[in-house]
Amino acid sequence: MTDTQYKNWIPITDAEGILWLHLDVENSSTNILSAPVLEELDSILDDIGKGNLPLGVVFTSDKENGFIAGADIREFTKVSNFDEAKAHIQRGQFVFNKIEALKCPTIALIHGFCMGGGFELALACKYRIADDGPKTRLSLPEVQLGLHPAFGGTVRLPRLIGAPAAMDMMLTGKPYNARKAKKIGLIDYAVPTRQLIPAAKKTIMNPPRVYKPKKMQAITNHMLVRPILKHFMIKTVAKKASKEHYPAPYAIIDLWAKYYDDPKKMLEEEANSEASLVNDDTAKNLIRVFFLRDQLKAQGKASAEEKVNNVKEVHVIGAGVMGGDIAAWCAFKGLRVTLQDRDPAVIAKAIKRAHKLFSRKMRGDRLGIIAAMDRLIPDVKGLGIPKADIVIEAIVENIDAKQGLYREIEPKMKKGALLTTNTSSIPLEILSECLATPDRLVGLHFFNPVAQMPLIEIVTADNTDKDVAKRTSQFAAQIDRLPLPVKSGPGFLVNRILMPYMLEAVRIHEEGVSAAAIDKIALKFGMPMGPLQLADTVGLDICLSVAQILSKELDVTVPSSLENMVKSGKLGAKSGSGFYEYSNGKKVKSKDSSKTVDTKNITDRLIGRMVNESVACLREHVVADKDLLDAGIIFGTGFAPFRGGPMNYAAKEGLDEYRGKLSSLEQKLGSSFKPDDGWEQLASH
């Protein structure tokens, strides 16, 4: 018997009296627990309460991609205060409590992803049965958005599997496959797809004892054990995130430690805690970053028709640091790659590195690793050029070398194939001069290390063919990277904004502040690595060369200490010495002997240079808008995500105030802090 009064749920009672609640959210490719979906579920549950109790209730998804992706994050962006947020959360808790209270067997029948609120719904059921295929993923990723589970998840999970496993899941957000989930008690059965329905029926017909945590799991929740475990948990979390910047993981530990013995109170406190987090800047900014990622992905969106012409064959020229890793990444993503270098030994090294990458990424999948290795083909002679759908040039950063290569390869390339360069600083207008069709060259600027940095700048000049640029963005999306369209110019977007910040750090260092003290201040602000440690990692010679290129066109002064260090062979980590000393590539710990420093002033100087350059980039339309700029700097440099990007940070501080801050720094420190003319336009928007 089916009931058609609902838009998102399809309740079907079968001949045996089992109620199957199929979720198929209207006008959406993915099941999300929005307020209307929960409202409908609430009324279905009320109906169950009114009539004869079914033999059992099974929650299942009609979407191919998975069970439920979680709560609707957009709804959180609309609440304007604590009370609204709390009411919204308690509504969800209320519905899930009704599921928990049902007096018949209840089952979550899971395939594909089962995330956040979706997993919390499963936790409210008496049994969980999951598809044992590779696509099944159970996770509570809220912490990555500055939030925590709040539909009863923090209350139910430690009770089910004990505190250490529950905390690991909630504090990291990492997903579990069905096999692992079964092992720790998250689910009752992991079965092949064809067995899902029979397993659910069997469980309802013959309900087994509801899973109880093992003694060793349960004891971790004991009131005498909690304070000890809490101490270790906080220590572990503090290594990764400070409470000031990321309050959510601390709140999860606190809820459990303080309220575990009183589930009702714990549920109320879960709602209070989440309502505060929702209204906190960290969550607001992290949610913004989540949507910015989507905005970047959209830059490389391809229609079904366009996907037919997706890249299949890639040819990379230059197998050094970048080219070697780009080739490996493309092969990892399923493409056939030919890798060319004038030096065969460099190709051999790159292939060795690729094997390491595949082994790390496909742990245990021997056949997958072999297949990826087979896709990566050494090609000293460049035989792959005529077959390639895209050629990626990543040879030395030298105009003559690059132009010489283009002259040689252009006539050999397939008609319509993409010609791209990984140049980090040479304007496209110059590089493309030598081509018969200069409008076909596009910058495909990867960041180092390729496998970890999600952003690729798609660089175009005024004369670049628009369709070619679009296809290059689609290629970036095809290999699972985030394309950011930027205009050709000194340093493009990311390096142009990053470099003044790094050079300011060098200048502060010249004034006598230790590298460790400067880096510590940047870390405290939320950067993933201090600017001088970053300079050492990238290589001081590379930093110097980018700084020199920028200094020709922008108001950037190259600090003399940087030039001297490079002259004397101090190139950073690779030479064993830079701003820090290194032994076997590892930093040697040094004592921070620096005088007391003015943290606020140093933060303003470092970040101020970044923000001012961001404003200049907007004025020059290097990037289309503020959102894309923030996205580029977050995904290209790791800029403190909880601050939402440099422009978001400046707006939060107040645009006028920030500009005033730069003016007063200009008076003290000179023209490098002169507020860019673009501040005028920003203020008038």
Which residues are catalytic, by number? 120, 142
Q: Which of 136, 424, 460, 478 binds ligand NAI (CB under 6 A)?
A: 424
Quick check: helix, strand or coil at residue 621?
coil
Judged by CB, which is closer to ligand NAI: 42, or 397?
397
Distance CA 229, CA 251 (A): 15
Q: Binding ligand NAI by CB under 6 A: which of 395, 516, 543, 606? A: 395
Tokens representing 519? 């880096």
Query: Which amino acid appears at position 658 of this protein?
Result: Y
**Minimum gap (Å) between residue 421 Cβ and ligand NAI:** 7
Q: Is 448 in the site for ligand NAI (CB under 6 A)?
A: yes
Q: Of 423, 533, 648, 672, which one interacts with ligand NAI (CB under 6 A)? A: 423
Distances (CA, A) of 178 to 144, 198, 316, 611: 22, 17, 38, 46
Is residue 142 near ligand NAI by the rule CB under 6 A?
A: no
Find out whether 299 and 484 touch, Cβ atoms under 8 Å: yes
Q: What are the C-alpha distances in Å from 456 to residues 179, 240, 493?
A: 35, 26, 11
Considering beta carbons, is residue 45 or 450 the nearer one to ligand NAI?
Answer: 450
**Pattern 495-534, ligand NAI, x by CB under 6 A:** ----------------------------------------
CA pair distance 179, 186, nearest whole angstrom:
10
Please write down the long-range contacts of 84-87, taking CB distance under 8 Å and 24 or more positions apart. 85/274, 85/275, 85/278, 85/279, 86/271, 86/272, 86/274, 86/275
If the CB atoms of residues 233 and 322 are measured against ligand NAI, the closer one turns out to be 322
Q: 535-564 mask for ligand NAI (x: CB under 6 A)? A: ---x--------------------------
Q: Does 394 bind ligand NAI (CB under 6 A)?
A: yes
Question: Which CB sits closer to ligand NAI, 223 or 396?
Answer: 396
Q: What's the distance, Cα to Cα, between the start and end of the chain in Å?
A: 58
Cβ neighbourhood burial of 320 (10 Å; 0-12, 13-18, 19+) = middle
Check whether the bond before 449 is cis (ω within 30° of 0).
yes
Q: Which of 118, 141, 323, 572 binds ligand NAI (CB under 6 A)?
A: 323
Q: Which residue of this chain has its Cβ atom nearest to ligand NAI in the complex?
A: 320
Stretch that binds ligand NAI, among 104-112, 320-328, 573-581, 585-593 (CB under 6 A): 320-328
341 lies in the site for ligand NAI, by CB under 6 A: yes
Nearest distance from residue 408's CB to ligand NAI, in Å? Answer: 8
Output 222 or 342, the one with its CB closest to ligand NAI: 342
- Among the candidate windows 91-99, 129-137, 319-327, 436-444, which touches ligand NAI by CB under 6 A? 319-327
| From candidates 183, 212, 240, 342, binder to ligand NAI by CB under 6 A | 342
Q: Is 304 in the site for ligand NAI (CB under 6 A)?
A: no
Report which DSSP code applies to 581: B
Does residue 320 touch ligand NAI according to CB under 6 A? yes
Q: Is 338 in the site for ligand NAI (CB under 6 A)?
A: no
Asked if residue 319 binds ligand NAI (CB under 6 A), the reply is yes
Question: Taking the complex as a whole, how short is the minimal distance between the CB of residue 71 and ligand NAI, in angstroms?
Answer: 38
Q: Stretches 390-398, 412-420, 643-651, 677-685: which one binds ligand NAI (CB under 6 A)? A: 390-398
- The contact mask relative to ligand NAI for 343-372 (x = CB under 6 A, - = no) is x--x--------------------------
54: tokens are 């079914």
Positive or negative: CA dihedral 9, 13, 14, 19: positive
Please identify, among the stretches 31-39, 280-288, 418-426, 475-483, the one whose residues bind ligand NAI according to the rule CB under 6 A.
418-426
Stretch that binds ligand NAI, among 391-399, 588-596, 619-627, 638-646 (CB under 6 A): 391-399
Decide whether 424 or 464 has the Cβ nearer to ligand NAI. Answer: 424
Read off φ and ψ for residue 68, nearest 5 degrees.
Answer: -140, 135
Q: Which stretch binds ligand NAI (CB under 6 A): 210-218, 249-257, 321-329, 668-676?
A: 321-329
Strands in 113-115's sheet, in edge-to-edge order, are 66-68, 113-115, 137-139
Query: Of the two residues 319 and 527, which places its CB atom closer to ligand NAI in the complex?
Result: 319
Of the pair 350, 665, the CB lying nearest ligand NAI is at 350
Distance CA 592, CA 189 (A): 55
Q: Does 458 bind ligand NAI (CB under 6 A)?
A: no
**What residue type is assigned to position 304 of the chain?**
A
Which range of residues in 167-175, 194-202, 394-402, 669-677 is near ligand NAI by CB under 6 A?
394-402
d(C-alpha 48, C-alpha 139), whole Å: 29
Q: How far is the CB of 614 from ligand NAI (least distance, A)?
A: 20
Our CB check for ligand NAI shows the closer of 84 and 541 to be 541
Residues 485, 587: contact at Cβ < 8 Å?
no
- Whole-number minimum distance, CB 322 to ligand NAI, in Å? 3
> Any idea which residue has 């501080």 for tokens?
653
Token pair of 92, please? 């969800």
Q: Dihedral of the CA atoms 624, 628, 633, 638 (nearest 10)?
A: -160
- Residues that contact ligand NAI, how many (by CB under 6 A): 24
Q: What is the DSSP secondary-structure string of 29-97?
A: SS--B-HHHHHHHHHHHHHHHHSPPPSEEEEEE--SSEEE--B-HHHHHH--SHHHHHHHHHHHHHHHH
- Coil, helix or strand at residue 191: strand
Q: Should residue 385 be labelled a site residue for ligand NAI when binding is judged by CB under 6 A?
A: no
Q: How far is the CB of 395 from ligand NAI (least distance, A)?
A: 4
- In this complex, which beta carbon is closest to ligand NAI, that of residue 53 or of residue 383? 383
Residue type, position 374, single letter: D
For residue 377, the Cα-to-chain-centroid distance in whole angstroms is 30
Sheet of strand 376-378, all strands in order from the earlier edge strand to the far edge = 376-378, 336-340, 313-317, 390-393, 418-421, 441-446, 455-460, 482-487
The answer to whether 39 contacts ligand NAI (rule: CB under 6 A) is no
Give the binding site for ligand NAI (CB under 6 A).
Answer: 317-323, 340-343, 346, 394-397, 401, 405, 422-424, 446, 448, 538
